[in-house]
Amino acid sequence: MRSETDPALRSRRRAVVAYYMVDRVRNGRYATLTQAARDSGATHLELGFPFSDPIADGPILQEAADRALRHGTHWNDLRSAIRETSPILPTIVMSYANPLWTRGLARSFADLRDAGAGGVIVPDLSLEEAGPWRRTARCNGLDLILLAAPGSRLARIAALARASRGFLYLVSRYGTTGRGAISRPEDLAPLVRSAHAAAPDLPVFVGFGIRDRATALRAMGSGADGVIVASALESALARNPSTPTVARVLRPIASAVRAGGI
Amino acid sequence: MRSRYGPYGGAFVPETLVPALEELEGTWRAARSDPVFRRELARYSRDLGGRPTPLYHAEHLSRRAGGAEIWLKREDLLHGGAHKFNNALGQGLLARRMGKLRLIAETGAGQHGVATAMIGAALGLQTEIYMGEVDMQRQRPNVLRMRLLGAEVHPVRSGQRTLKDAINAALRDWIAHVRTTHYLLGSAVGPHPFPSIVADFQSVIGQEILREARRRWGRPPDLAVACVGGGSNAIGTFHPLLRTRTELLGVEAGGPRGHPTGAASLARGRPGILHGTYSYVLQDRDGEIRDTASISAGLDYAGVGPEHAFLKDSGRARYMAVHDSDALRAFRWLSIDEGIIPALEPSHAIYAAVREARRRPASHRIVVTLSGRGDKDLEVAGRALGD
């Protein structure tokens, strides 16, 4: 299966996905921040589109979304951000279901693809509801990236891995995004193995709570192919949206991802 | 079990919640055909709840309207003072059956929080309630009741600090503690199977209306009226009447006059995905959920149950919005005419029922579900009425 996010993903090269929120006050800075992420070892960029009711998110990303909406962030800001970032790093969009649905899935996905995005993550989209989303994404040349979680049965993990494109997003623990402990590597390992067995070419990235070298090593200890760094980067950028901030957060994680793993 | 109502419904949730929703559906399927469960539900409903509730002819209110007879389904007399008991009891028993010893719930007006706290105490389950800070201020008596009943009340300070934000907070708690905790969702909203389960447990309202109507009049009522926030008392009223010829009218909160949306999702929203379900939603062009406004905390919600969306589109039920000021008038009418102080939520339905009665013949019988009593609203209503 061809991946739109990044053809090299099929080799299951180790990956670091850097996430930050699209926010109107950051317009014009996305290229600089993304270049800094690449220079610090990021292999992909995930752009968050703010939603008023982000139920899968902890306080850091909730506040980031509130701020972005207060600043008047709109769909067009997302499109222009993707145009800036996608020449630098393969770019994936994270959006809750409603903003994509309400615009019309076909139109939303065409917009994202035309701007240069390779994939889309929808944290409140279950496998059961994903059918039309997967078809429309495929028609528009976008990867629909599904999420798996610690409570998912192994058979379900396999089904999720077969249905996901680009990569499988493995949630690290019971909980929302942000601070807090992640599951032990030995608890995540069976999930990763199950996904790899069902879809050998599909990488598995672990997200939620990855914030430093230790958490990245722990995640990679499960046999995963990469990590996603969201709240840690977003909260650092909220304080100081600069190139050194990006490097400070991402460098230790990127080196751990290269060193760790099984 | 129905997961879709036409195009509406479904389960748009983070993967972490999927196993818990499957477990809940399985448990309910097994429980509803289990005579032991049914007996226990019936016993608590009768001996703790006070079911069945009466159907009362509001003669003076009918006279004020001039026209059809108005009858009240007295859910305000249920234990805790609202219909919320029916669903809290049912889901509390399901939680115990699943071995989940901790209950969490959202609450707007506080009635569902009180009902959950009562059931938590009665069944020996730890109970924590999420409530928007604004609602905690405007429904203070219920906060005190919940605490007295042994529940912990968590103030929610995000967003508009009302019902929608309380649901967000409860969902996030559930995601983190899903293995040990049951989310006792209080309205006919949320992901499948919640809308079905809530409708099932609330259908006792409509069943009793139908039974009593047949006994007294030999036929179902001509019109049933209920207020709609998420829509649990309305769906419970409507469900058993769907196969009769009774007209169904749902009444949403129109908010202050001149407010662009109030909280009337069906009247002024369009289809979208909120809190795990596809239904009518008050939203802007980008799909961001809009702020709502209503004098009644229990109706102050940007979404609505998916079955109501389907009933609206199919034309089987009608929906209208009533402004704050008209709900307040009805609040006063029922108090003065009948000696019954209604909650602000069903006051919207009372107003609509009076309007309907006016243009109908004296032979018509209108049943309004009086979903709760107004003790909690004395401060807000008193201020609004200038007392």
Residues of B labelled as active-site residues:
84, 106, 371
Yes or no, beta carbons of B179 and A174 under 8 Å apart: yes
Chain B residues near residue A175 by CB distance under 8 angstroms? 175-176
Strand order in the sheet with B126-132: B152-156, B126-132, B102-107, B181-183
More confident residue, A8 or A92: A92
CA distance A110 to A4: 13
CA torsion sign, B211 to B213 to B219 to B220? negative
Please tell me which of the candidates A102, A124, A125 has its beta carbon nearest to residue B283.
Answer: A102
pLDDT < 70 stretches in chain B: 387
Task: Tell me the one-letter amino acid at B167.
Answer: I
pLDDT at A9 over 80: no
3-state secondary structure of B119: helix
pLDDT at A12 over 80: no
Please tell me which of the candidates A53, A75, A100 has its beta carbon nearest to residue B168.
Answer: A53
A116-159 pLDDT, tens digit per residue, is: 999 999 999 999 999 999 999 999 999 999 999 999 999 999 99
Residue in chain B closest to A148 (alpha carbons) equals B15
Chain A residues near residue B164 by CB distance under 8 angstroms? 53
pLDDT at A25 over 90: yes
For B372, phi then psi, to 5°, come to: -165, 165
Q: Any chain A CB within 8 A of the CB of B245?
A: no
Rounded to an integer, the average pLDDT of A48-65 is 97
Chain A residues near residue B177 by CB distance under 8 angstroms? 174
pLDDT reported for residue A234: 97
The C-alpha of A201 sits at a distance from chain B's nearest C-alpha, in angstroms, of: 22
pLDDT reported for residue B135: 94
Yes or no, beta carbons of A149 and B15 under 8 Å apart: yes
Chain B residues near residue A56 by CB distance under 8 angstroms? 14, 172, 175
Q: Any chain B CB within 8 A of the CB of A175?
A: yes
CA distance A228 to A230: 6
pLDDT at A2 over 60: no
DSSP label at residue B73: E
CA distance B156 to B170: 10
CATH 3.20.20.70 holds for A8-259? yes
Q: Mark out the alpha helices in chain A (DSSP H runs).
A: 30-39, 59-70, 75-85, 97-102, 105-115, 131-139, 154-163, 185-198, 213-220, 231-239, 243-259
Which of the four pLDDT bands, split at 50, 70 and 90, describes residue A262? Answer: low
The whole-model pTM stands at 0.96
Are the C-beta atoms of residues B53 and B208 closer than 8 Å to each other? yes
Are the C-beta atoms of residues A73 and A117 closer than 8 Å to each other? no
DSSP string, B230-260: S-HHHHHHHGGGTTSS-EEEEEEEEESTT-S
Yes or no, beta carbons of A52 and B13 under 8 Å apart: no
The C-alpha of B224 sits at a distance from chain A's nearest C-alpha, in angstroms, of: 33
The C-alpha of B200 sits at a distance from chain A's nearest C-alpha, in angstroms, of: 23
Reference A205, options A90, A112, A50, A78; nearest CA is A90
Q: Any chain A CB within 8 A of the CB of B172?
A: yes
Q: Any chain B CB within 8 A of the CB of A186?
A: no
Are the C-beta atoms of residues A161 and A198 closer than 8 Å to each other? yes
Which of the four pLDDT bands, split at 50, 70 and 90, describes residue A10? Answer: very low
Helix axes B344-358, B324-338, angle to 10 degrees: 80
pLDDT above 70 as % of chain A: 95
pLDDT reported for residue B92: 98
Measured in whole angstroms, the distance separating CA A190 from the mean position of its chain's CA atoms is 21
Among B15, B22, B102, B301, the strongest candidate for a mutation testing the A interface, having the largest count of A CBs within 10 A, is: B15
Residue in chain A closest to B178 (alpha carbons) equals A174
Rg (CA), chain B: 19
A-to-B residue pairs, Cβ atoms closer than 8 angstroms: 110
Among A22, A49, A55, A177, the strongest candidate for a mutation testing the B interface, having the largest count of B CBs within 10 A, is: A55
